[in-house]
């Protein structure tokens, strides 16, 4: 029912299948009030491109005429909308008015009977200031109702929405998520409206992430009640798939226009700065003088345009793998959003599991936060903690600010002398200390930074590096008088150093030396850059131009499989799947038995059968958790199948 | 010919008058190629709302047929555009091709003869890597040609554009600006295209600001060749009024779509994320498959929509006085733009002269740069260097993070005890240390900050404060055991302290005590907040609710005039003007003889005649430099005229 088609970290473009059609996520579900449709469902679809709507089953249930019609003709006929429709259950009404006049069995049954595509259980709305015990009790009740709904309707058509509650308690949210994950459904994150209303974005981030930790890769995940476009990029960054919005109409009624970076009052606007049809066809003053009903409708349409447009932008960002940039920029719209993204960085260890080692585009620095992105921190941490300088000689230091990238080409002459002498070369960069061997590897040459580090910070980083690597000496190149002291250290050429270091970074400790032990030869391009690594005459690795990381060839995969203990780099598949994969066909989630938890999306992997026989080499699209949580879609894109694999090896 | 209508610091909405109509600035002048009009001038106006175009007189001059027609029928008939048209002179062609085939007398004369609204002299394009001497010589030549053009055509209709050149040398730019300022005209800042192309935004900022320093408040200022919307907010922030753009078509030809935050390649786009007519009516794939001419036209139109839309947004920001926020946010789009805004902060002393003491909206923190805005730095500096604590008793410190704003209301009980004891109260805030007396004054309660200061920074600030104020002791309220040590210090109540401090901050040293020396009474609102200050029975000041600063009443103005030596707070006007101003009519620039250079836009001022007789009290719209540089428009908005003023006092 839910499948990830494209991704950027936790952000994803997904396909959510329903009885009335497939929804491409992230998607907005505009709220339609069955009693008063300011913008008709048909118009929502045809003009604004809405793929799915949401309406309130409790309102229908309470209005005799609507209820009758809904039960007789079905929800889709009632709303005159032949596309997916989700229904809410009255939970929010209970939150606002204290109680609702229906029990949970009745309302879920009603939704089912009128043929809702996504029926929501009557969950218990946890308030941000609920005591822990109260919140726990509400989660327990919600769980009970979820179980009832799932068991009662498991054989029927249509999805059930199973909200994750838990107030602002991260462990409770995570636990609630973990419990809901056992059922198939749609997973709203509930109880967040009061946080959104009070701009408590740091709490919001915490809640989304703890719910996601519980839910794993399951989806679609719905941020219930989030209707303002200013939160979309942040929420999508964290893996939210669905938004609903009645804000478009609520804001319009009180004279407010939504923009991606905030809200403006119509009465204060002289220039719209927007080219949606409302703003193109009317002047602000004209709108102000209009009769209220007409004005509200036009403003609601402006708000819808802005919402749908912003979702398009986020989707384009997922496609370009630039959601981090987009979210970081948008979060500058309000100090409280900024505190939201700061909260995100604090969760980097979790987020890192979903982060590729490289992206299509450059890393564009948007501020100091950029340095706290999981991809960057992982890189910095690896250099600081895992990287092994190859020589015991002093390390020569260059200041990256004074050298064009890639460093090795700007410093060709200097480096050839140093290489001969066998020195370690280090660059002090905004990404921290970077050894020469990684100067063509993502994100080093692909990052555009503004170096805002203070002198003290740089010094501290370098001192830490010196300590971590147990270096006897670190000399600035400019302070270097002679190369004499290095004599006798040489032994490994820069090419070897580079291959060893990149392979260690990419495939893990010990992988690098496997490729430089034998007779290594390099095929280079015209600029002298390594293209292919040949070991004992076999093509084992190709160095990708765009990110300076390796593509694994079958011969290389064989070596890694032989030398690295399971489960390293492995994705274990069923025998049936192996048959296909050995012929070069992709690995699908449902055939994955197990996978190395250190695999990151985009990583080169070894596809093996249950007996650890190599089946194919490929590139992971998902990490191990995702491979296990998802029922559909590609897990590994196979590059090379092993045609001599056979069922019984 | 140029008048400032609305403003936000150096940013301004202006009116630029020409023979073919008035242009509201900031404005974009789309470049029209007379040989190939992808978007017709008529469509530029009717569809995109262009108020003014720019075309190249050298191209017309060189094309026999066009030249003939232009001379016979005039430029406006040639382009079929009855609105203002500016012409360029061939300078850029000389920059690109090394030389042009016309001399400067000929080309300026040609422009004049075909009735251009703004004729540009053939200036010498200074390159960013010109040697200082080369750049100086070019500036000298440009100046000579400017003088020729102005003298030759001073009695004729139409403006002359007088470019400020000077490569990347700030003093040279400033000097060039100062020389051009002597002539009336349009003031392009030239030679910036190579900087724009290479994203050298820090140099660009430096050049704009040094040119502006030379030009003073003169306008309109045109950033020659700046066509990408990503630079508009930054440039408008610095006082640029006109942009020209051929980028819309150049980008379209090479398959690029402009966005406010950068450029995207059509081939990489799956979701436009834009609702301009091009993007609303076509899918990216559809556009890609189109015949080239049609695609280019549609893409050029998208680019125009985005440019015009962004200018609308900047104008709205000027209106809302939120250009700083907008520029700071937009500059997160690219690390090099970020280095541009950082350069802006370095010029805060200059920018501060144009900054009001309060704005309509809140100060929304967008990052650490926000703390470097001139308004904030002035406030911080005043507290640190000018503010005088009233008591010699220890200072009690509160942490603003733990107190809601306004502080005095959240801490009512604590404060009444402290007030009785006569203690100085200080808050440690993201704006630095803030004394209680200023807790309702802009920007303290109107700022929404994320406190990113480190503990060390806070401590340092407080230590500096302690040192500056020569405080014997500073005690955290939480650490306070008893109030005994304060006994006997009391004497001035919080209300008096507040009035004295705010008046000192707003009107300058010594002003405050004038209002609390006599018999002071306060009229308060229901919440206990001061509304009016009565001194010896007279209403002297009103405390504005929205910014916690004073509005000066006539009785208060009389006191300040008597006690503060000229030129403090004065705007001196001619006798003719005084006659009008004493009747409550506004002061216009051309009648201003002199003004206190400490006056900032928005300040309360004393309007006096040449004999220093008080004529009226009002609010400055301009600072003293602007009052002297501009020929048109309001200098001071009079609030209260002095009806007993008479010509001979």
Q: Is there a contact between A316 and B276 if contact means CB atoms under 8 Å apart?
A: no
Q: How far apart, in Å, are the Cα atoms of A20 and each of A85, A86, B312?
A: 8, 11, 42
Superfamily for the A553-649 domain: PUA domain (2.30.130.10)
> Which of A291-295, A491-495, A538-542, B149-153 bottoms out in mean pLDDT, i.e. has the lowest?
A491-495
> Given a cut of 80, is residue B21 above it in pLDDT?
yes
Distance between B50 CA and the closest CA of chain A, angstroms: 14
Q: At what angle do helices B132-153 and B170-180 cross, to 10 degrees?
A: 10
The answer to whether the CB of A376 falls within 8 A of the CB of A363 is yes
Gap between the Cα atoms of B381 and B375, Å rounded: 10
> Given a cut of 80, is residue B391 above it in pLDDT?
no
Point out the catalytic residue in the list B8, B80, B82, B88. Answer: B88
The answer to whether the CB of B522 falls within 8 A of the CB of B496 is no
Token digits of residue A154: 């498991």
Nearest residue of B to residue A450 by CA position?
A: B335
Gap between the Cα atoms of A113 and A61, Å rounded: 11
- The pLDDT assigned to A454 comes to 87
- Count of Cβ atoms closer than 10 Å to residue A419 Cβ: 18
Is the pTM higher than 0.90? The answer reads yes
> Given a cut of 80, is residue B576 above it in pLDDT?
yes
- The pLDDT assigned to A490 comes to 53
Query: Which residues in B275-295 are b (16+ Cβ under 10 Å) and which e?
Result: bbbbbbebebeebeeeeeeeb
| Residue linked to tokens 């200050």 | B533
**CATH architecture of the domain with range B372-485:** 3-Layer(aba) Sandwich (3.40)
| Residue linked to tokens 């805030």 | B429
| Residue linked to tokens 């408008």 | B236
Gap between the Cα atoms of A339 and B646, Å rounded: 59
Q: Please provide the average confidence, as pLDDT, over all residues in chain B.
A: 94
3-state secondary structure of B448: strand
Interval B140-155 mean pLDDT = 96
A365/B contact by beta carbon, under 8 A: yes
CA atoms within 13 A on the CB side of A543: 26
Give which of A273, A283, A304, A326 to mutate to test B binding, by max B Cβ within 10 Å. Answer: A273
Query: Which residues, numbered 248 to 287 in chain A, qualify as contacts with chain B under a Cβ-Cβ cut-off of 8 Å?
Result: 261, 264, 268-277, 280
- The pLDDT assigned to A479 comes to 85
- The pLDDT assigned to B485 comes to 62
Vertex A284 angle, CA A283 and A286, to 5°: 65
Give the phi and the psi of residue A195 in degrees, each rounded to 5. Answer: -70, -40
Cα dihedral A252→A328→B239→B381 (10° resolution): 110
Interval A132-148 mean pLDDT = 97
- Count of Cβ atoms closer than 10 Å to residue A83 Cβ: 20
- The pLDDT assigned to B410 comes to 86
CA B276 from centre of chain: 29
3-state secondary structure of A550: strand
ipTM score above 0.90: yes
Token digits of residue B310: 């962004």
Gap between the Cα atoms of B511 and B505, Å rounded: 9
> Given a cut of 60, is residue A489 above it in pLDDT?
no
> Given a cut of 80, is residue A394 above it in pLDDT?
no
A538/B contact by beta carbon, under 8 A: no
Token digits of residue A433: 């200390």
- Count of Cβ atoms closer than 10 Å to residue A182 Cβ: 13
Gap between the Cα atoms of A236 and A240, Å rounded: 5
- The pLDDT assigned to B472 comes to 80
Nearest Cα neighbor of B526 from B404, B409, B437 is B409
> Given a cut of 90, is residue A646 above it in pLDDT?
no
Strand order in the sheet with B614-620: B587-588, B634-641, B614-620, B604-608, B570-573, B592-595
> Given a cut of 60, is residue B130 above it in pLDDT?
yes
Token digits of residue B122: 């053939």
Q: For residue A391, name the pLDDT band (cuts at 50, 70, 90).
A: low
- Count of Cβ atoms closer than 10 Å to residue B455 Cβ: 7
> Given a cut of 60, is residue A488 above it in pLDDT?
no
Gap between the Cα atoms of B314 and B235, Å rounded: 10
Q: How far apart, in Å, are the Cα atoms of B20 and each of B41, B83, B85, B118, B463?
A: 14, 5, 8, 11, 61
- The pLDDT assigned to B225 comes to 94
- Strand runs labelled E in A390-497: 395-399, 424-429, 432-435, 447-448, 474-476
Gap between the Cα atoms of B143 and B131, Å rounded: 18
Q: Is there a contact between B271 and A329 if contact means CB atoms under 8 Å apart?
A: no
> Given a cut of 60, is residue B150 above it in pLDDT?
yes
- Count of Cβ atoms closer than 10 Å to residue B404 Cβ: 10
Give which of B275, B368, B443 to mutate to test A binding, by max A Cβ within 10 Å. Answer: B275
Interval B280-284 mean pLDDT = 94
> Given a cut of 80, is residue B54 above it in pLDDT?
yes
The answer to whether the CB of B190 falls within 8 A of the CB of B123 is yes
Tens-place pLDDT, residues B29-42 = 999 999 999 999 99
Gap between the Cα atoms of A374 and A382, Å rounded: 12
A310/B contact by beta carbon, under 8 A: yes
Distance between B511 CA and the closest CA of chain A, angstroms: 35
Tens-place pLDDT, residues A145-155 = 999 999 999 89
- The pLDDT assigned to A484 comes to 65
The helix, strand and coil proportions of chain B, stated in percent and rounded to the nearest 5, come to 45, 20, 35
Q: Which DSSP symbol is given to B525?
A: -
Give the phi and the psi of residue B265 in degrees, each rounded to 5. Answer: -85, 135
Q: For residue A640, name the pLDDT band (cuts at 50, 70, 90).
A: very high
Query: Which residues, numbered 324 to 363 in chain A, qualify as contacts with chain B under a Cβ-Cβ cut-off of 8 Å?
Result: 328-329, 332-336, 338-339, 342
- The pLDDT assigned to A98 comes to 86
Interval A616-629 mean pLDDT = 97
Cα dihedral A51→A55→A61→A66 (10° resolution): -70
Tens-place pLDDT, residues A150-174 = 999 989 999 999 999 999 999 999 9
Q: For residue B416, name the pLDDT band (cuts at 50, 70, 90).
A: confident
Beta bridge partners of A526: none
Q: Please provide the average confidence, as pLDDT, over all residues in chain A.
A: 94
B526/A contact by beta carbon, under 8 A: no
The domain ranges of chain A are 2-246, 372-485, 553-649
Longest alpha-carbon distance in chain A: 94
Q: Kindly report the length of chain A.
A: 649
Gap between the Cα atoms of A336 and A341, Å rounded: 9
Gap between the Cα atoms of A369 and A458, Å rounded: 17
Tens-place pLDDT, residues A33-79 = 999 999 999 999 999 999 999 999 999 999 999 999 999 999 999 99
Which helix (H) or strand (E) is B618 found in, with range? Answer: strand B614-620
Q: Is domain B2-246 in CATH 1.10.287.3610, yes or no? A: no
> Which of A80-94, B128-142, B179-193, B378-392 bottoms out in mean pLDDT, i.e. has the lowest?
B378-392
Gap between the Cα atoms of B561 and A637, Å rounded: 81
Vertex A559 angle, CA A554 and A560, to 5°: 95
**Which chain B residues are Cβ-neighbours of A229 within 8 angstroms?**
none
Distance between B47 CA and the closest CA of chain A, angstroms: 10
DSSP calls for A559-599: HHHHHSPTTTTEEEE-HHHHHHHTTTPPEEGGGEEEE-TT-
- The pLDDT assigned to A409 comes to 85
Q: At what angle do helices B201-215 and B170-180 cross, to 10 degrees?
A: 40
- The pLDDT assigned to A473 comes to 82
The answer to whether the CB of B242 falls within 8 A of the CB of B263 is no
The answer to whether the CB of B177 falls within 8 A of the CB of B214 is yes
Gap between the Cα atoms of A136 and B143, Å rounded: 78
- The pLDDT assigned to B413 comes to 82
**Which chain B residues are Cβ-neighbours of A372 within 8 angstroms?**
none
Gap between the Cα atoms of A637 and B486, Å rounded: 76
> Given a cut of 90, is residue B245 above it in pLDDT?
no
Gap between the Cα atoms of A327 and A335, Å rounded: 13
Tens-place pLDDT, residues B550-560 = 999 999 999 99
- The pLDDT assigned to B490 comes to 53
Please state, for a pLDDT cut of 90, what percent of chain B lies above it. 84
**Which chain A residues are Cβ-neighbours of B336 within 8 angstroms?**
448, 450
- Count of Cβ atoms closer than 10 Å to residue B47 Cβ: 16
Gap between the Cα atoms of A91 and A387, Å rounded: 53
- Count of Cβ atoms closer than 10 Å to residue B5 Cβ: 14
Please state, for a pLDDT cut of 70, what percent of chain A lies above it. 98
> Given a cut of 60, is residue B349 above it in pLDDT?
yes
Nearest residue of B to residue A310 by CA position?
A: B273
The answer to whether the CB of B193 falls within 8 A of the CB of B228 is no
> Which of A95-104, A434-443, B390-399 bottoms out in mean pLDDT, i.e. has the lowest?
B390-399
Q: Is there a contact between A335 and B448 if contact means CB atoms under 8 Å apart?
A: yes
- The pLDDT assigned to A403 comes to 83
Out of A90-99, A205-214, B272-281, B419-428, give the one with best mean pLDDT: A205-214
Point out the catalytic residue in the list A8, A88, A495, A504. Answer: A88
- DSSP alpha helix (H) spans, B131-246: 132-153, 170-180, 193-197, 201-215, 232-237
> Given a cut of 70, is residue A396 above it in pLDDT?
yes
Gap between the Cα atoms of A623 and A636, Å rounded: 9
> Given a cut of 80, is residue B396 above it in pLDDT?
yes
- The pLDDT assigned to A474 comes to 87
Give the phi and the psi of residue A12 in degrees, each rounded to 5. Answer: -150, 150
> Given a cut of 70, is residue B540 above it in pLDDT?
yes
Q: Is there a contact between A315 and B364 if contact means CB atoms under 8 Å apart?
A: no
> Which of A6-10, A88-92, A570-574 bottoms out in mean pLDDT, i.e. has the lowest?
A88-92
Q: Is there a contact between B332 and A329 if contact means CB atoms under 8 Å apart?
A: yes
> Given a cut of 70, is residue B489 above it in pLDDT?
no
| Residue linked to tokens 């602002």 | A168
- The pLDDT assigned to B409 comes to 85
Beta bridge partners of B262: B259
- The pLDDT assigned to B405 comes to 86
Catalytic residue list contains A155: no
> Given a cut of 60, is residue A614 above it in pLDDT?
yes
DSSP calls for B487-523: TT---S-HHHHHHHHHHHHHH-TTHHHHTTSS-EEEE
The answer to whether the CB of B41 falls within 8 A of the CB of B81 is yes
């Amino acid at each position: 029912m839910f499948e990830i088609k494209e991704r950027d970290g936790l952000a994803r473009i997904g396909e959510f299948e329903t009885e009335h059609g497939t929804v491409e996520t992230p998607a907005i579900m505009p709220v339609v009030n069955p009693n008063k449709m300011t913008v008709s469902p048909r118009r929502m679809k045809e003009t604004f491109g809405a793929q799915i709507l949401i309406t309130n089953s409790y309102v229908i249930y309470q209005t005799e005429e609507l209820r009758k019609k809904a039960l007789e003709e079905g929800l889709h006929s009632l709303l005159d909308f032949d596309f997916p429709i989700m229904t809410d259950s009255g939970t929010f009404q209970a939150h606002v008015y204290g109680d609702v006049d229906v029990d949970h069995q009745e309302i879920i049954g009603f939704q089912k009977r009128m043929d809702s595509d996504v029926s929501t259980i009557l969950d218990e709305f946890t308030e941000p200031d609920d005591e822990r015990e109260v919140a726990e009790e509400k989660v327990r009740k919600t769980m009970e109702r979820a179980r009832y709904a799932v068991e009662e309707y498991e054989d029927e058509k249509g999805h059930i929405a199973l909200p994750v509650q838990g107030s602002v308690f991260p462990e409770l949210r995570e636990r609630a998520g973990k419990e809901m994950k056992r059922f198939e459904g749609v997973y709203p994150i509930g109880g967040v409206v009061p946080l959104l209303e009070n701009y408590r974005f740091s709490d919001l981030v915490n809640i989304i992430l703890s719910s996601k930790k519980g839910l794993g890769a399951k989806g679609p995940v719905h941020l219930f009640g989030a209707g303002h476009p200013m939160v979309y990029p942040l929420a999508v960054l964290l893996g939210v798939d669905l938004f609903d919005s009645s804000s478009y109409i609520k804001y319009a009624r009180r004279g407010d226009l939504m923009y991606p970076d905030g809200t403006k009052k119509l009465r204060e606007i002289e220039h719209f700065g927007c080219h949606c049809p409302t703003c193109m066809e009317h002047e602000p003053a004209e709108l102000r003088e209009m009769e209220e009903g007409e004005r509200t409708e036009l403003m609601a349409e402006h708000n819808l345009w802005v919402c749908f447009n912003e979702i398009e932008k986020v989707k384009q960002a997922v496609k370009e793998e630039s959601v981090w940039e987009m979210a970081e920029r948008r979060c500058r719209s309000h100090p409280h959003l900024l505190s939201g993204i700061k909260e995100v960085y604090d969760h980097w260890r979790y987020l890192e599991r979903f982060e590729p080692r490289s992206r299509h585009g450059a890393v564009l620095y948007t501020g100091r936060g950029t340095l706290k992105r999981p991809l960057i921190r992982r890189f910095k941490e690896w250099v600081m903690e895992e990287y092994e300088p190859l020589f015991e000689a002093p390390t020569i230091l260059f200041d990256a600010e004074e050298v064009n990238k890639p460093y090795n080409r700007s410093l060709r002459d200097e480096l050839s002398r140093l290489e001969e002498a066998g020195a370690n070369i280090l660059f002090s960069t905004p990404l921290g200390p970077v050894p020469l061997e990684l100067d063509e590897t993502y994100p080093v040459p692909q990052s555009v930074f503004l170096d805002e580090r203070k002198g003290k910070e740089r010094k501290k980083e370098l001192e830490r590096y010196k300590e971590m690597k147990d270096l006897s000496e670190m000399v600035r190149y400019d302070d270097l008088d002679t190369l004499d002291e290095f004599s006798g250290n040489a032994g490994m050429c820069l090419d070897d150093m580079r291959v060893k270091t990149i392979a260690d970074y990419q495939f893990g400790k010990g992988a690098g030396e496997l490729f430089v032990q034998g007779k290594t030869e390099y095929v280079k391009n015209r600029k002298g850059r390594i293209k292919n690594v040949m070991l004992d005459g076999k093509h084992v690795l190709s160095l990708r131009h765009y990110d300076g990381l390796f593509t694994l060839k079958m011969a290389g995969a064989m070596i890694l499989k032989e030398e690295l203990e399971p489960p390293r780099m492995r994705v274990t598949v069923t025998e049936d799947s192996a048959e296909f994969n050995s012929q070069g066909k992709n690995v699908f989630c449902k055939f994955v038995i197990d996978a190395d938890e250190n695999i990151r999306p985009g990583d080169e992997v070894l596809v093996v059968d249950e007996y650890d026989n190599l089946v194919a080499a490929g590139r992971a699209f998902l990490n191990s958790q995702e491979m296990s949580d998802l029922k559909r879609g590609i897990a590994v894109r196979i590059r090379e199948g092993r045609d001599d694999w056979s069922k019984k090896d």
